[in-house]
Structure 1
Amino acid sequence: MTSYFSTFISGFTDVIEQLVNRDFPDVKITMLLDGLVVYSTEAPLQQVRKTRYFNNTFLLLNQFPITPPGRAEGIVRRLASDVDFKTSLRPLMLARNSSFRLIVSRENQMISVDKGIMRNIEARIISATRLRLGPLKADSEFWFLLRREDQAFLGVRLTGLNTVQKKPEKGEVSRELAYLLCSLSDPQDSDVFLDPFCGSGAIPLERAKSYPYSKIIAGDKDRGLVAALKQRAGIKDFEVATLDATNLASIADQSVDKVVTDPPWGLYDSSGNSTGGLEALYDALLREFCRVIKPGGLVVILTARKELLQDLLKRKAVKKLLLQQTYDILVSGKKAGVYVLKASA
């Protein structure tokens, strides 16, 4: 088996464990931290690389616990000293004369380490692999990760190198978060799926790419965003429409299996000039979700307005939506929550 470690959005530990076991039947998970998993599998390298719910994945070269505070120089030297680079890098089949660089990260912040130590490690890698140093832009990156859980890792980054990755637009969720939100809705091939705050379409497009479905309805009040998504989509059974989530008149009662959405987090009302419209918005959208969702259907909501949503779910008008699970996460450094609701019969 080949060993890897992958990073993911903090707060989704249980979900990641389930997904990794689903996607890699032979997997052996040896460590599971909040935001990082260490595992071994015989799965092809390309399958590991293409896993959509990980932020980044690394070929594991070495790991060990550290005693805080632990000087970075000593940890980095020890991580590299035990590695036979020629043997360890064989699964990657790196081309001779391709470039590499070293990166040290402590608690998600890149740091500098004594240049003499780094030069010594670079020389060992060059001698063992015939790679060349590319300090600014490289074909391969060797990452030294020093985690707040007092664990240290050395790995070769497998994802996000030399590829053009689309950055999320303002207010758009990342691909990884969109995948996880869709996964929480228990996707089925018979699903009618709705996102009435689709924006540029990250969530419904991810559902269409990653899971089967019967029909997807992606809507938004912003006609410009709707028009842009219509041009991007071009997918079978993928309907894009101008929708008001507080009045989904075009959608029949009990006709939707899954709702996955990211409603506004800030001040909002239909006229755009009120400072107290967010409660009214959330109240109205929950009422509409109650109306359109089928019995047993699931609603997944991402919001930073956790207290507001929790208070509204206690109201009699939306008692049909039963809270199943809550995940506390960070989105672009802001605290948010993911709520999984199930419609009662």
Structure 2
Amino acid sequence: MGAYISTFPTGFAGLIPTALQKLLPGAQVVQVYDGLVHYRYGGKPGDLGKVFLFHNTFLVLREFQGPASQMDSMVRSAAGIKSLPPSRGSFRVRYSVKNQFVAVPKERTRQLEGKIAALTHAKVDRVSPDTEYWFLQRSEGVGFFCRLLGRRQATERDLHPGELRPELAYLMASLAKLGRDSVVLDPFAGYGAIPKQVLGYFPYAMVLVSDLDRDRAVDLRASLGGKRGVSVAQRDALTLEGIPGATVDAIITDPPWGYYEEIEDIQVFYRGMFASFRRVLKPRGQVVLLSARKREAEAAAQEMGFPLRQRYDTLVNGKKAAVYLLEVGPAL
């Protein structure tokens, strides 16, 4: 079986083993670190592209532990490597220490480049190569010499402004533990990132999709309205008009953070939001919520009777945020 490492959104290490085995059957997790998973897989390397949760995926050529994982030691060790998998075109070598690119002495790099070129018959191209060889030194005392197999296809430039990345939407949906009888609601659906993941990868009975913005609701109806069990509406999340009480099993959503929207008091807004959620949720219904306004979101949840079950701190476009798993508590 081939050995691989892949990077994923920080903060979600606990969710990755289940997600990997679901999206890539047969994969065997070796170790999960914050933002990186080491695993083995006996299928075709091309299958790894199915795991859209990953940012970068690498073929592991050599693994290092303890003092041997220091950058200088890894580079010296790799200089003695006897064989490499076939490679065509051009390549370059990169060095990363604790997720930051670093430089090594030029002579050392030239020696490595000569070694790799001799073993693979590829040419050096430090600007726009076909292949990259990476040395990764981790803070956990492990390191890897590896070859980059692929980067994520969709970047922020491919998304609408404010649109949630698909891998984050998937991980949020996975927290809700949905079943075939689940009624799911996203009342701040925006461009539909969360409903798309629910529809594509999770069991459900009905998905209620809504947004206050008329244009977003029109687009959502066009893209999702014809799918099984989907209801799309223009709706205010603070009232959720048209949704009967105690009918929703899970709310999975990314509400406004108050940085760009005209919201006078975000905590007051969140209190109104949770009051609306409480009305439509079934007893012990769940809320999966993303927010960068951690203090305000947590205070409003506590005040409105939504006990915190789990919290995952992460980064969204470089901004510190958290995904919360909440459960509706007893009546206030």
TM-score of the two chains, using structure 2 as the length reference = 0.86
**Could you tell me which residue of structure 2 aligns to residue 57 of structure 1?**
57
What per-residue deviation string (whole Å, max 9, x for no partner) do you get for residues 83-123 of structure 1?
4443xx26xxx5xx433222222222223333332222222
Write the letter of the residue equivalent to 1:261: T
**Could you tell me which residue of structure 2 aligns to residue 254 of structure 1?**
246
Question: Relative to structure 1, is the Cα distance of residues 102 and 232 closer, same or farther in structure 2, using a 3 angstrom cutoff?
Answer: farther
For the residues of structure 2 that align with 1:168 and 1:195, how far apart are their CA atoms?
A: 19
Q: Which moved more, 1:75-84 or 1:173-182?
A: 75-84
Alignment of 1:104-253 (within 5 A): 104-160=95-151, 163=153, 165=155, 167-233=158-224, 235-237=226-228, 238-253=230-245
What per-residue deviation string (whole Å, max 9, x for no partner) do you get for residues 131-159 of structure 1?
33333223322222122333321212222
Answering whether residue 310 of structure 2 is matched by residue 325 of structure 1, we say yes
How far did 1:183 drift? 0.7
For the residues of structure 2 that align with 1:150 and 1:178, how far apart are their CA atoms?
A: 31
Answering whether residue 6 of structure 2 is matched by residue 6 of structure 1, we say yes
For structure 2, list consecutive stretches of 5 or more residues without a partner in the other structure: none
Number of matched pairs: 328
How far did 1:323 drift? 2.5
Where 2:150 maps in the other structure, the secondary structure is coil
Write the letter of the residue equivalent to 1:144: F
Alignment of 1:18-57 (within 5 A): 18-22=18-22, 27-57=27-57
Where 1:10 maps in the other structure, the secondary structure is coil
For the residues of structure 1 that align with 2:218 and 2:164, how far apart are their CA atoms?
A: 19
Checking the alignment, whether the CA contact within 8 Å between 1:62 and 1:83 is kept in structure 2 is no
Alignment of 1:289-328 (within 5 A): 289-315=277-303, 318-319=304-305, 321-328=306-313
Question: Relative to structure 1, is the Cα distance of residues 312 and 23 closer, same or farther in structure 2, using a 3 angstrom cutoff?
Answer: same
For structure 1, list consecutive stretches of 5 or more residues without a partner in the other structure: none
What per-residue deviation string (whole Å, max 9, x for no partner) do you get for residues 155-177 of structure 1?
1222227x565534332222211
Checking the alignment, whether the CA contact within 8 Å between 2:24 and 2:50 is kept in structure 1 is no
For the residues of structure 2 that align with 1:232 and 1:160, how far apart are their CA atoms?
A: 27
Question: Relative to structure 1, is the Cα distance of residues 207 and 140 closer, same or farther in structure 2, using a 3 angstrom cutoff?
Answer: farther
Q: Which moved more, 1:260-269 or 1:294-303?
A: 260-269
Question: Relative to structure 1, is the Cα distance of residues 132 and 69 closer, same or farther in structure 2, using a 3 angstrom cutoff?
Answer: closer
For the residues of structure 2 that align with 1:252 and 1:323, how far apart are their CA atoms?
A: 25
Checking the alignment, whether the CA contact within 8 Å between 1:75 and 1:152 is kept in structure 2 is no
Identity of counterpart residues, as a percentage?
Answer: 34
Write the letter of the residue equivalent to 2:325: V
For the residues of structure 1 that align with 2:251 and 2:188, how far apart are their CA atoms?
A: 10
Write the letter of the residue equivalent to 1:18: T
Q: CA RMSD in A?
A: 2.8
For the residues of structure 1 that align with 2:75 and 2:280, how far apart are their CA atoms?
A: 59
Where 2:307 maps in the other structure, the secondary structure is strand
TM-score of the two chains, using structure 1 as the length reference = 0.83
Question: Relative to structure 1, is the Cα distance of residues 64 and 308 closer, same or farther in structure 2, using a 3 angstrom cutoff?
Answer: same
Checking the alignment, whether the CA contact within 8 Å between 1:301 and 1:340 is kept in structure 2 is yes
What per-residue deviation string (whole Å, max 9, x for no partner) do you get for residues 6-36 of structure 1?
1122221211233335556655433322111
